[in-house]
Amino acid sequence: MVIVMESEATEEQVDGIVGRIESIGLRAHLSQGQERTIVGIIGDERLVDPQVFEALAGVERVVQILHPAKLASRDFHPADRVLDLGKGVQIGGNDVLIMAGPCAVEGPEQLEATADIVAAQGVRVLRGGAFKPRTSPYAFQGLGEKGLQILREAADRLDMLVVTEVVSNHDVPVVAEQADILQIGARNMANYSLLRAVGQTQKPVLLKRGLGSTIDELLQAAEYILDLGNQRVALCERGIRTFEPSTRFTLDINAVPVLKHLTSLPIVVDPSHATGKAAFVGPVARAGVAAGADGLIVEVHPKPTEALSDGAQSLPPAMFATMMEEVRRVAAAIGRGVA
Amino acid sequence: MVIVMESEATEEQVDGIVGRIESIGLRAHLSQGQERTIVGIIGDERLVDPQVFEALAGVERVVQILHPAKLASRDFHPADRVLDLGKGVQIGGNDVLIMAGPCAVEGPEQLEATADIVAAQGVRVLRGGAFKPRTSPYAFQGLGEKGLQILREAADRLDMLVVTEVVSNHDVPVVAEQADILQIGARNMANYSLLRAVGQTQKPVLLKRGLGSTIDELLQAAEYILDLGNQRVALCERGIRTFEPSTRFTLDINAVPVLKHLTSLPIVVDPSHATGKAAFVGPVARAGVAAGADGLIVEVHPKPTEALSDGAQSLPPAMFATMMEEVRRVAAAIGRGVA
Amino acid sequence: MVIVMESEATEEQVDGIVGRIESIGLRAHLSQGQERTIVGIIGDERLVDPQVFEALAGVERVVQILHPAKLASRDFHPADRVLDLGKGVQIGGNDVLIMAGPCAVEGPEQLEATADIVAAQGVRVLRGGAFKPRTSPYAFQGLGEKGLQILREAADRLDMLVVTEVVSNHDVPVVAEQADILQIGARNMANYSLLRAVGQTQKPVLLKRGLGSTIDELLQAAEYILDLGNQRVALCERGIRTFEPSTRFTLDINAVPVLKHLTSLPIVVDPSHATGKAAFVGPVARAGVAAGADGLIVEVHPKPTEALSDGAQSLPPAMFATMMEEVRRVAAAIGRGVA
Amino acid sequence: MVIVMESEATEEQVDGIVGRIESIGLRAHLSQGQERTIVGIIGDERLVDPQVFEALAGVERVVQILHPAKLASRDFHPADRVLDLGKGVQIGGNDVLIMAGPCAVEGPEQLEATADIVAAQGVRVLRGGAFKPRTSPYAFQGLGEKGLQILREAADRLDMLVVTEVVSNHDVPVVAEQADILQIGARNMANYSLLRAVGQTQKPVLLKRGLGSTIDELLQAAEYILDLGNQRVALCERGIRTFEPSTRFTLDINAVPVLKHLTSLPIVVDPSHATGKAAFVGPVARAGVAAGADGLIVEVHPKPTEALSDGAQSLPPAMFATMMEEVRRVAAAIGRGVA
């Protein structure tokens, strides 16, 4: 941590900073420039809240040097982490993992049909929402526990895993009982109670980046889960809020290599939510894989025009088959398989 | 709702849209342009999920005409809503309501001192965090229930109300028992389980705008609470995420008159989180009142340099007194008082 | 400037950095942390392009300590700069300066009527566009030189100053001949050829912040003008691009106190472009003054419904009169007059 | 165009809108909803400035139905436009075109070395800046005309084309004489004088998206050039401003398929400026091609650590060779070649 003093900071103020640093068991290191004094902190700066120093007299600003998410960082765990998800399925290894299914579970018929469609393309992880976070209270909110059962049955029939969202700590036990992977949605990335609740399970977690959250904050959200002993966390870029109105969100493709650099946790891309329109899902899915993503999560519906939610961004069977074919070829081009 | 067809949309596709509209009990109205056909929906479009139509063949895009948050809208309740908060304190009337206190309750001594400071300036609502949502799992997380008791005791001694954040549905009963106003923080604005939980209490709610959320989404979050019968909701602009790095967030001052136009619920401005730096809190607080805010929520600490969180943005006693004096004068300039 | 080395940086790489720093006549200062080595640069870092160091082997990132805009900074010129604009009109002193007039000069009749309306409220600076930058090539592009003459004549009749936009270096001489203040619009803030051209005149410049530009970039744009010897520069916050769609732009109200802290140049707020809607101009104008702006620039039209451009955000005479009255009262509340 | 009336709009106000529409030779079409009246405009809405209607009494908002950039749109020119750039080089056909070279021309030696490096990989278009737009007036501003000559000579020796930026209308003739392709940089995308100047040449134009500009605005900037008769325009996505600080900009990968949908002009991706760091250029270049880009423009330097500008994002020879190899494989995976 580097503390930049104001140009008019007094010697007394600098001494105050140094004293404060030493009082918490770290060492200070002064650098006297022409126009500013800089105080460096020697020791584990992750133990220090930068705001504590920002509040001190004479301080202009505080620059963090280390990424605050220690357990998530590649410094801490240099080798790519390959997560076992069950039934022989992994994420983070050489194969790109595809997770696919409908936005919401609407009933057994729709889900079974979708499961057949995605399984026919070799997909091993079935996605589907049972508890749905919806912007409007008047929109379809999901089937809840009944939806979980439908998911479980369809997956078991086809020897698939289930990934589904959990939106409340209260629901964690029931979701953890039925699902193989717990998804934390973008709107709950900074719901720290929920992060702690899933951190206390031993289920793999798919953690989506908040739509207004930085990459650093995503890593710190993962840190909540890792810190509680649950080491199986995959991170998902699903589009951020920008000024561009032509798509629902803006997929931050840079985030893929940036995250691969900062962390060894697996990275997933969600082209469905990032674009909001089926016609753009294929190109963005290919881009995600080309950029180095370890997985994709994609919305598929047997009849998108009849979907109860997210129909516009759900791929119908033929488009999904085309996407899978293209994704396989792009993955092969960079030396990876698709699972 | 207006559905814009693609330029190459067929007559059959247009008929499909019309059929779908009529199947849900609404009427369609066609407008044949030179290059596009437009289908208008006659009836209560709030009952319709726009995504359903976006998914249909031949549709280019769907434009919502009505604001989807009906109960929150000024159309539904034209007159400014004045909320009774208890102990004779109101928000939404002619007086601008000030809520002030520390970021986090650190202990009885700190809180009592702060309560005295703000009460001395005429403040009737004491803020303070007992359950703290923190970006890093290693930062101070608040005193929890003990913090609530400390808040309650300090407030009772000075005949003040307590506003404090609730971060989990599980905590709603215990917070509702001790606090007068339940705050939903920016990171939980789209935590719909939590919104429903506070909607089921009869406590006033201070709902903060998510840092990546639009004004429309804020109104729809309020709608969750209103729809469950809890009519006492105040909305808070606390800064949004933008590309500007010199402040923690960017206060969307436009949001004040925009919200006053769209809704009759009271509007609060939080200059502390929006700027992140004590020196900028006063000017932005004055701006919020000048723009028409019905309330301010401000962080105050007896010794910001010793604060366990948010010290940099907390006002020390003298700066808070100055801010109050200036805010009173600005409020008077536009014909309002300060309470 | 502080250079943060990668965790795996070698001693040789650190030596390379130090050598490079010394080769340009500055001194290096090493700080060896537990996980990272940091190299500080002692000397005037403004002479150093940070990208040069970002490219060196072993460097993780480079942190600038000093604001790169030296001449614009308050460090360089601590006292508020009061700019003489001519005819006894100043900006940057105790009085808030109002500049008002139509978006575009449409003809003598419209302009004379507007000039009368704003002069009647005591306004001394007439704004109006003769050369208009328009998003669409099919929109009204302004009257050009003829518009300048119309502006000049109307202003002379009422002893007013003229502020108008210049959009091309080629036009600088002709605009400088007729106008008293040269405006650089948001879309040209980083048009460095144009900045140099106005820097070579001795006319005061109103420099608008680019809609995607940071505060630091605005100061560096001003630096281009100051560096060429033209010291009369006022900066204008006119709204930035964010994800919020309910207004044309988002006025960054924080920028007012931040700029007042970083620079002693006068700060102007443009509530018309920042909101795009007449109903919101008054509240945001009041907020700008309350936050400490030294001036406002506002669009006024005798009949906004007949305006050739920006009608929706132009104030009709009665709303302008109300705004002026309210702005005077808010200015008085913080100890300032209005000119 | 669809005009949404306010809920309290009077019949007289609706009549006023209709009259205004008819007065400009178009037809109006009313749709009376339960809560709002909507007025549709029948005819070429591109002739109408939406702001004219936004200003009228009783209007809530105006929704544009057609994209305002007619000549650029795919509606106007459905087939992909393949642009001849000279010397047998094309963009927009089946082959992905690579443009590569240093950020700035620093001298004959550096440029010749770079040209050899990129030519050795089969690159036919040499990029290099002679006139540099720099944020700080104290940074290296380019060699100007001398730089152009150096570029021309190096390109001629290797039978390559030159693409270089033009930053001022004044420079258009001299740049057009030496270069084969005129680049408009992000900071000048809305410099309409410059757009008109390049529109009046017959040189191909590489138009970069402004860092705070929407896709629609990019298309309208292209329209300025097309409207003057210059039909050879390629569009470049080079990253936009967002809240994410870990990269210089955020590449909007969605923009690639969105632009391919809206326009038949060729689309180029710039992974160097979008990321700002050499390590991320390769992954993002691959992503751009996978998403469907028709070209890449990449910064290469023989010794990035000695570059006068943008060294951190310039690829050294070996990394460039790797990128080219990977890009070829990804292009092949989607059925395209690389030229």
pLDDT in tens, B272-315: 999 999 999 999 999 999 999 999 999 999 998 888 888 889 99
Q: Of D131, A34, A8, which Cα lies nearest the Cα of C47? A: A34
Report how far apart the first and last C-alpha atoms of chain A are (Å, whole number): 42
The reply to whether D108 and D214 lie within a common domain is: yes
Residue pLDDT tens, chain A, 339 long = 888 888 888 988 999 889 888 888 888 888 887 778 888 888 777 777 787 788 888 888 888 877 789 899 998 999 999 999 999 999 999 999 999 999 999 999 999 999 999 999 999 999 999 998 888 888 888 999 999 999 999 999 999 999 999 999 989 999 999 999 999 999 999 999 999 999 999 999 999 999 999 999 999 999 999 999 999 999 999 999 999 999 999 999 999 999 999 999 999 999 999 999 999 999 999 999 999 999 999 999 999 888 888 888 999 999 999 999 999 999 999 999 999
Cβ atoms within 10 A of the Cβ of A42, count? 16
C58 conformational bin, left if phi > 0, alpha if psi -120 to 50, beta if neither: left
The pLDDT of D301-310, averaged and rounded, is 86
What is the CATH number for B35? Answer: 3.30.70.1140
Put simply, the answer to whether A253 touches D284 (Cβ < 8 Å) is yes
Q: Of C274, C267, C268, which Cα lies nearest the Cα of C310? A: C274
If you measure CA to CA, which chain B residue comes closest to D243? B243
Looking at residue B251, what is its pLDDT?
98
Residue B68 resides in a domain = no
| Confidence band for C181, pLDDT divided at 50, 70 and 90 | very high
Nearest to C240 among B242, B258, B334 (CB): B242
The reply to whether B154 and B27 lie within a common domain is: no
The reply to whether C90 and C47 lie within a common domain is: no
> Any chain C CB within 8 A of the CB of D21?
no
Task: Report DSSP state, residue C215.
Answer: H
Name every residue whose Cβ is closer than 8 Å to that of residue C245 and which is 6 or more positions away in sequence: A245, B214
The reply to whether D102 and D39 lie within a common domain is: no
Q: Is A297 helix (H, G, I), strand (E, B) or coil?
A: strand
Name every residue whose Cβ is closer than 8 Å to that of residue C282 and which is 6 or more positions away in sequence: C271, C315, C319, C322, C323, C326
| Confidence band for D104, pLDDT divided at 50, 70 and 90 | very high
Residues of B in contact with D241 (CB under 8 A): 243
| ipTM of the complex model | 0.94
Put simply, the answer to whether C245 touches B214 (Cβ < 8 Å) is yes
Residues of D in contact with B38 (CB under 8 A): 2, 40, 65
A193 conformational bin, left if phi > 0, alpha if psi -120 to 50, beta if neither: alpha
Q: Which of residues 210-239 of A touch C (CB under 8 A)?
A: none
Put simply, the answer to whether A312 touches B54 (Cβ < 8 Å) is yes
The reply to whether C110 and C239 lie within a common domain is: yes
CA–CA separation, A151 and A105 (whole Å): 7
* Residue B221 and residue B235 in contact, taking contact as beta carbons nearer than 8 Å: no
A-D CB pairs within 8 A amount to 137
B144 conformational bin, left if phi > 0, alpha if psi -120 to 50, beta if neither: left
Neighbour subunits, A (≥3 Cβ pairs < 8 A): B, C, D
* B321 or B75, higher pLDDT: B321
Among B14, B35, B63, give the residue marking a domain's end.
Answer: B63
> Any chain D CB within 8 A of the CB of B65?
yes
Residue C304 resides in a domain = yes
B-C CB pairs within 8 A amount to 137
CA distance A8 to chain C (A): 9
Looking at residue B147, what is its pLDDT?
96
> Any chain D CB within 8 A of the CB of B64?
no
The reply to whether A15 and A101 lie within a common domain is: no
Residue A115 main-chain phi, psi, to 5 deg: -60, -40
The amino acid at residue C253 is I
Residues of B in contact with C250 (CB under 8 A): 240, 242, 250, 252, 254
Compute the C-alpha angle D172/D173/D178, nearest 5°: 100
Residue B158 resides in a domain = yes
Structure tokens at D117: 């490096």
If you measure CA to CA, which chain D residue comes closest to B61? D65
CA–CA separation, C112 and C153 (whole Å): 9
Sign (positive/negative) of CA torsion D154, D156, D162, D164?
positive
Residues of D in contact with B258 (CB under 8 A): none
Looking at residue C307, what is its pLDDT?
82
Residue C76 resides in a domain = no
Quote the number of domains for chain B. Answer: 2
Residue C54 resides in a domain = yes
Residue D77 resides in a domain = no
The reply to whether D259 and D327 lie within a common domain is: yes
Structure tokens at B115: 């309560």
Instruction: Specify the residue for token string 């329109």.
Output: A277
> Any chain B CB within 8 A of the CB of D7?
yes
Among D30, D63, D96, give the residue marking a domain's end.
Answer: D63
Q: What range does the domain containing C272 cover?
A: 83-338
Residues of B in contact with D5 (CB under 8 A): none
The reply to whether C95 and C41 lie within a common domain is: no
* Residue D282 and residue D290 in contact, taking contact as beta carbons nearer than 8 Å: no
Q: Which of residues 131-190 of B touch D (CB under 8 A)?
A: none
Report how far apart the first and last C-alpha atoms of chain D are (Å, whole number): 42
Residue D334 resides in a domain = yes
Q: Over the stretch B196-226, which tens digit does the pLDDT of each residue have?
A: 999 999 999 999 999 999 999 999 999 999 9
Looking at residue D150, what is its pLDDT?
97
CA distance C271 to chain B (A): 9
CA–CA separation, C266 and C272 (whole Å): 19
Percentage of the residues of chain B whose pLDDT score is greater than 90: 73
The reply to whether D322 and D266 lie within a common domain is: yes
If you measure CA to CA, which chain D residue comes closest to C193? D168
Looking at residue D25, what is its pLDDT?
85
The reply to whether C175 and C249 lie within a common domain is: yes
> Any chain C CB within 8 A of the CB of D308?
yes
Three-class DSSP labels, chain B: CEEEECCCCCHHHHHHHHHHHHHCCCEEEEEECCCCEEEEEECCHHHCCHHHHHCCCCEEEEECCCCCCCCCECCCCCCCCCEEEECCEEECCCEEEEEEECCECCCHHHHHHHHHHHHHCCCCEEECECCCCCCCCCCCCCCCHHHHHHHHHHHHHCCCEEEEECCCHHHHHHHHHHCCEEEECHHHCCCHHHHHHHHCCCCCEEEECCCCCCHHHHHHHHHHHHHCCCCCEEEEECCECCCCCCCCCECECCHHHHHHHHECCCEEECHHHHHCCHHHHHHHHHHHHHHCCCEEEEEECCCHHHCCCCHHHCECHHHHHHHHHHHHHHHHHCCCEEC
Nearest to B214 among C244, C252, C292 (CB): C244
Nearest to C330 among B214, B284, B290 (CB): B290
The amino acid at residue B137 is P
> Any chain A CB within 8 A of the CB of D337?
no
Residues of B in contact with C218 (CB under 8 A): none
Looking at residue B246, what is its pLDDT?
94
The amino acid at residue C137 is P
If you measure CA to CA, which chain B residue comes closest to C260? B280
Neighbour subunits, D (≥3 Cβ pairs < 8 A): A, B, C
How much is the pTM? 0.94
The reply to whether D52 and D192 lie within a common domain is: no
> What DSSP line would sit under A115-172, residue for residue?
HHHHHHTT--EEE-BSS---SSTTS----THHHHHHHHHHHHHTT-EEEEE--SGGGH
Among D63, D94, D110, give the residue marking a domain's end.
Answer: D63
Looking at residue D77, what is its pLDDT?
94
Nearest to C55 among D193, D210, D307 (CB): D307
Q: Over the stretch D86-100, which tens digit does the pLDDT of each residue have?
A: 999 999 999 999 999
Put simply, the answer to whether B242 touches D243 (Cβ < 8 Å) is yes
Q: Across-strand partners of B73?
A: B263
What is the CATH number for C278? Answer: 3.20.20.70
The reply to whether D51 and D92 lie within a common domain is: no
CA–CA separation, B265 and B247 (whole Å): 28
Residue C251 resides in a domain = yes
Q: For chain B, give the mean pLDDT.
A: 93
Q: Of B307, B247, B252, B313, which Cα lies nearest the Cα of B282? A: B313
Q: Dihedral angle at the C-alpha atoms of A172, A178, A184, A188, nearest 10 degrees?
A: -40
